[in-house]
Amino acid sequence: MPLEAIRDFVKDDLEAVDQAIRRRLHSEVALIRQVSEYIVHSGGKRLRPLILILSAGACGYSGTDHHELAAVVEFIHTATLLHDDVVDESALRRGRATANALFGNAASVLVGDFLYSRAFQMMVSVDSMPVMRVLADATNTIAEGEVLQLMNCHDADIDEERYLRVIRYKTAKLFEAASRLGAILGGAEPQVEHSLAAYGMHLGTAFQLIDDVLDYSGDLQQTGKNLGDDLAEGKPTLPLIYAMRAGSPEQAALIRAAIQRGGTEEFPSVLRTIRETGALEYTRQQAAAESRAAMAMLEALPPTRHKECLLQLADFAVTRTY
Domain regions of the chain by residue span: 1-313
Q: Which CATH superfamily is domain 1-313 in?
A: Farnesyl Diphosphate Synthase (1.10.600.10)
At residue 97, the 3 state secondary structure works out as strand
In DSSP terms, which residues pair with 92 in a beta bridge?
97
**Rounded distance between C-alpha atoms, residue 142 and residue 156, angstroms:** 23
Nearest 5°: the CA angle 236, 242, 244 is 80
How large is the greatest C-alpha to C-alpha distance in the chain, in angstroms? 59
At residue 96, the 3 state secondary structure works out as strand
Handedness of CA 229, 35, 141, 45 (dihedral sign): negative
| C-alpha R_g of the chain | 19
Q: Model-level pTM?
A: 0.93
Q: Are 294 and 314 in contact (CB under 8 A)?
A: yes
Q: pLDDT tens digits for the chain (322 residues)?
A: 589 999 999 999 999 999 999 899 889 998 888 888 887 777 678 999 999 999 999 999 999 999 999 999 999 999 998 988 888 777 777 677 888 878 888 989 999 999 999 999 999 988 899 999 999 999 999 999 999 999 999 999 999 999 999 999 999 999 999 999 999 999 999 999 999 999 999 999 999 999 999 999 866 555 555 778 889 889 999 999 999 999 999 999 999 999 999 877 888 999 999 999 999 999 999 999 999 999 999 998 999 999 999 999 999 999 998 8
